Amino acid sequence: MTDLAEDTVLSVENLSIDFRLRTHILHAVENVSFELKRSQTLCLVGESGSGKSVTARSLLQIVDRPGSIVDGRILLRNAGAVTDIARLDPDGQAMRAIRGRRIGLIFQEPMSSLSPVHTIGSQITEAVRLHSDLDKRAARAKTVELLRQVEIPNPDQMADRYTFEFSGGMRQRAMIAMALAGNPDILIADEPTTALDVTTQAEILDLIKRLQVERGMAMLLITHDMGIVAEVADDVAVMRFGHIVERGPVDAIYHDAQHPYTRQLLTSTVKLTRHVESRVPAVALSSQPLRPILSVRNLGKTFGWHGKTNSLRAVDDANFDLYPGENLGIVGESGSGKTTLGRLILRTVEPTTGTVVYRNKDGSEVEVTSLTKKELRGFHREVRLVFQDPFASLNPRMTVKEVIGDPLIINGLAKGKALEERVAELMRLVGLDPMGMERYPHAFSGGQRQRIGIARALALDPRIIIADEATSALDVSIRSQILDLLLDIRQRLNLSFIFISHDISVVRYFCDRVAVMHRGKIVELGEAEQICTAPQEAYTKSLISAVPNPDPRDKRMLHRHRFVAPVL
Amino acid sequence: MLGYIFKRVLYMIPTLFGMSLISFLIIQLPPGDYLTSMIATMSDSGQAVDPAQIERLKEIYGFDDPFYIQYLKWIWGIVSRGDFGYSFEWNQPVSGLIWGRMGSTLVISLLSLLFVWIVALPIGIYSAVRRHSISDHVFTFFGFIGLAVPNFILALVLMYFAYRYLGQSVGGLNSPEFAEAPWSLAKVGDFLAHLWIPIIIIGASGTAALIRVLRANLTDELHKPYVITARAKGLPEYKVILKYPVRIALNPFVSAIGWVLPHLVSGVTITAIVLNLPTAGPLLFRALVSQDMYLAGSFILLLSALTLVGMLLSDLLLALLDPRIRFN
């Protein structure tokens, strides 16, 4: 028992954090308690707004104003001595000595969490020197050593580079090196891999885990992804609305969850690891051979001068057919060309080579690549786009009625009372109350906004919807709701989807067939189930096996396939 | 980097030519020339005008030549022998008039730029960090006054106070007794005593503007993740602020080099006239009124050259400050 107590390096007791806003006090965190133990990982799971990041920041006393700790204790133990962090002056010397030295912090956004105008090396060296009395040369040597430990190649040269010369994964490695500079015994990782591709995510999680074991650090990992939790956690605390609703060892949480919210989180996650049930693929419904609604042949886009060494083949010789009523998924990591492919089909980016053939309702074929600007408008009425960011894609100065009705007004299809009726109908279709028509987008949550975006796309009775990362910005429970909504609409309106995503589980759930893109090429195209369970190509194998599996008894990611891309 | 500087300097040459051409063209645009306005003045005062003499003058000055010949003669004189032409009004070569004025203009611009930097930087940082505090509101209040009150009114007020309460001779950059004296320690002291009024006045609006810009920029930067990273390292708060967000919010300070000079010449001419400053503004103004074309043209040419140099300097400094600019 005494051993257990000694293993605890930090305990949070009844922590409450309030934000004093202009009109009211927001209780961001209420009565939260947990312990961090040496060499153990506690995962704090919750959806956006649950207060998990604020909790993490309060351990370092870097909660932004107007937030402040109003109650509770944060006890930091060190060789018998106990410090209550909650009682320390946030600007004081004692608190600063804990930051970086005892507790290291890694952030979500590797893009913006490092200064763009200082070299990577100088930022790490600064942290090294802050917590030791090494001179400049020794600190620099330590920096290079740290960069080597986080597996950055050529650490000596890379130390003099700037952040924008690093890829996302490399930046996160540098960030980890910086967090380790003061040899902390506690590491806080706040969504460390959310902004990264799935294979990079697997590598970074590997690295963090390895360093944690080597150094015997306690880790607090904050995430919304139940798959990651299953892969790395020893203990789990589930947060919702500022409270910890359930806490326990990872196995108990996954296989014997007590709280309904935990069960709901798990269900929506696990649901997405399978193909949607009780659905017959549209292609199989009809006996006669179906003709594709959209045929893409040899489509390509080269940025920069053709043939030159620095030209980039964003999309290279893409071929596929989209059948009526089919969901075709396009997956790939960032920079694989999947978004460009979507834009080439719409011709918002002009293709360099290839053709796109669209088959009208009456069966006549249209060559999209040779349409004039005016003819293209007709095509755009039938093929609509849903965007990724539900916050940026709606004009905040337009009411919901104006947003949804906009395509109708532009095309001169409805106005006045008819417009209002059509908007109300569309809102009901996507599960929104038409009463909210006169309100502005800021009054809606992320999921509701995405519904507004979908209603706007449906306004012109399209036949194809291209959804570009349409669910990426949403919490997992909302995500499955939106996907179910899309499936429902597809059946009712006989739509076809091109669903672009980096999230393999979403594609697996939603799509009938999947195209896997890598460096501009479609490397594999097949039935969704086959791609996800029995991939043929080496790249697809590595991609699929890097997806975290939401079952702590089957940590798939740790035994994943590694794919080394041939040097171009 | 050296290649970049070389390229920039090379680009400046055609720009300069374009500017000289346009400025020459603009000066030529009003009907008539210096002679017609001189003849008009002479006839007004009842003097007889000898047509032969006018013809002779026209020939000397080349007023009968077409526009482009006049321009080419002028620009060739500058390029080949540093001869900026002849000022009709002052009856002496332009180069004799212009350098002293340009010198004092440059000194006052640089000093007011320094003044703007020294005052705006700490206040801007303070206002951003302690946003909505009482001191921030006070600075904001004075900032808006600095922006809203015309410079020349500020000049009149300051002159009055300096004269009434400090017993200083105001206007110009030297007291009358030193005006013609050679440079000495006493004259330098007198010069400095005169300098503060124009510098404060000319710097006032720039300071106010930069405080607002810095406050807005810094407010955006203060909550960026990299600032939290720096704080989580254990850096003291003042170092966190000064080393990271301030560094990034500093760009408009450097860009200020580019605009302070043209501002001083075109924007504060009235102030310079009120304060009787021996800068380029008032002289240029008079040269334009009396159609003293070579003097006016030379001023505009030199000022545009200086502006271009200022722009180049600020671009180079920006590149030095921000690697993102340097590498693109």
- pLDDT value, residue B102: 83
Q: What is the ipTM for the molecules in this complex?
A: 0.75
Residue A277 maps to a domain: no
Residue of A nearest to B129 (CA): A65
Contact A126 B233 (CB under 8 A): yes
Query: Which residues does chain B have within 8 Å of residue A109's beta carbon, measured at their own beta carbons?
Result: 225
Contact A163, A115 (CB under 8 A): yes
Same domain assignment for residues A298 and A175: no
CA distance A451 to A243: 28
Range A26-32, long-range pairs (CB < 8 A, 24+ positions): A27/A242, A28/A54, A28/A67, A28/A242, A29/A54, A29/A55, A29/A58, A29/A242, A30/A242, A30/A243, A31/A71, A31/A72, A31/A243, A32/A72, A32/A239, A32/A242, A32/A243, A32/A244
Residue A418 maps to a domain: yes
CB proximity A366 to B under 8 Å? no
- Average pLDDT (A245-270) is 89
Residue of A nearest to B251 (CA): A117
Q: Domain residues for A122? A: 103-183
pTM for this model (two decimals): 0.78
Is the pLDDT assigned to residue A262 strictly greater than 60?
A: yes
Residue A355 maps to a domain: yes
Fold classified for B99-326: MetI-like fold (1.10.3720)
Contact B211, B120 (CB under 8 A): yes
Residue after which a domain boundary falls, among A183, A199, A232: A183
Residue B23's CB: how many other CB atoms inside 10 A? 19
Indicate the angle between helix axes A476-493 and A446-458, nearest 10 degrees: 20
- The string of pLDDT tens digits covering residues A154-186 is 899 889 988 888 888 888 899 999 999 988 999
- The string of pLDDT tens digits covering residues A281-305 is 544 444 456 788 999 999 998 887 6
Contact B189, B178 (CB under 8 A): no
- The string of pLDDT tens digits covering residues A86-118 is 888 888 888 998 998 999 999 877 778 888 889
CA distance A245 to A225: 17
Query: Which residues does chain A have within 8 Å of residue B228's beta carbon, measured at their own beta carbons?
Result: 57, 62, 105, 107, 113
- pLDDT value, residue A1: 40
Contact B290, B32 (CB under 8 A): no
Is the pLDDT assigned to residue A308 strictly greater than 50?
A: yes
What type of residue sits at position B251?
A: N
| Maximum Cα–Cα distance across chain B | 87
- pLDDT value, residue A345: 92
What type of residue sits at position A246?
A: E
Closest by Cβ to B322, choosing from A98, A101, A117: A117
CB proximity A112 to B under 8 Å? yes
CA distance B324 to B328: 7
Same domain assignment for residues A360 and A470: yes
CB proximity A109 to B under 8 Å? yes
- The string of pLDDT tens digits covering residues A129-143 is 998 888 999 999 999
Report the alpha-carbon angle A562-A204-A36, nearest 5. 135
DSSP label at residue A549: P
pLDDT band, residue A246 (cuts 50/70/90): very high
Share of chain A above pLDDT 70, in %: 93
- pLDDT value, residue B267: 64
CB proximity A131 to B under 8 Å? yes
Is the pLDDT assigned to residue A4 strictly greater than 60?
A: no
pLDDT band, residue A128 (cuts 50/70/90): very high
- How many structural domains are present in chain A? 2
pLDDT band, residue A276 (cuts 50/70/90): low
Residues of chain B with pLDDT under 70: 179, 260-261, 264-267, 327-328
Contact A468, A386 (CB under 8 A): yes
Burial class (CB in 10 A: 0-12, 13-18, 19+), A456: buried
Same domain assignment for residues A333 and A440: yes
Residue after which a domain boundary falls, among A164, A183, A202: A183
- pLDDT value, residue A279: 53
Residue spans per domain, chain B:
16-83, 99-326
Residue A404 maps to a domain: yes
CA distance B304 to B311: 10
- pLDDT value, residue A566: 61
Residue of B nearest to A175 (CA): B229
Same domain assignment for residues A163 and A298: no
What does the DSSP assignment read for A5-62?
Answer: HHHEEEEEEEEEEEEE-SSSEEEEEEEEEEEEETT-EEEEE--TTSSHHHHHHHTTT-
- Average pLDDT (A201-224) is 90
CA distance A445 to chain B (A): 23
Residue A336 maps to a domain: yes
Is the pLDDT assigned to residue A403 strictly greater than 80?
A: yes
Same domain assignment for residues A174 and A298: no
Same domain assignment for residues A176 and A303: no
Query: Which residues does chain A have within 8 Å of residue B324's beta carbon, measured at their own beta carbons?
Result: 116-117, 162, 164
Q: Give chain B's end-to-end CA distance (angstroms, integer).
A: 11
Contact B247 A117 (CB under 8 A): yes
Q: Which of B220, B227, B229 to mutate to test the interface with A (most CBs of A within 10 A)?
A: B229
